[in-house]
Amino acid sequence: MLKEFKEFALKGSVIDLAIGVIIGASFNKIVSSLVTDIITPPLSLLTGKIDLNNLYISLSGSFKSLAAAQKAGAPVITYGAFLNNVIEFALIALVLFLIVRQVNKMRKSPEAAPDSKECPFCLSSIPIKATKCMHCTSGLTE
């Protein structure tokens, strides 16, 4: 069993997956920072500096703030934090979409090799390897 585990763990695909997860975690930090530190502040300015993290519903009594409710140990529904996470997710998804779209634009797709050519005599389309036109029976020279 140890030998099988060693073979599994040292397969190239498992190591590639581990490297992908590590790079993905680092990339997540970069994208999260982009959203939190660069994109969210101007959005907050546009929305009148509303801090969604302070929006809550107290399930027992009335409190002046979320901090006061949490300090008192009251059960609260922090829907503002949930909304903030949904917005952050949407922004991260948008940023990733834009990044992937740009990377795909930079990649050039290889052009497919032609599989047909034109007969110089009758202008019919014939296979690229043809030495004689199947339509006019003319001999083709390179």
* Domain limits, the chain: 18-109, 110-142
Inform me whether the pLDDT recorded for 45 exceeds 80: yes
Burial of 64 (0-12, 13-18, 19+ CB in 10 A): exposed
In the numeric block, the tokens 């502040």 are attached to: 41
- pLDDT of 31 > 90? The answer is no
Q: What pLDDT was estimated at residue 142?
A: 62
Helix axes 12-33, 79-106, angle to 10 degrees: 120
For residue 108, the one-letter residue type is: K
pLDDT of residue 111: 75
Confidence band, pLDDT 50/70/90 cuts, at residue 76: very high
Which has the minimum average pLDDT: 8-12, 25-29, 113-117, 124-128?
Answer: 8-12
Closest CA to 142 of 134, 131, 133: 131
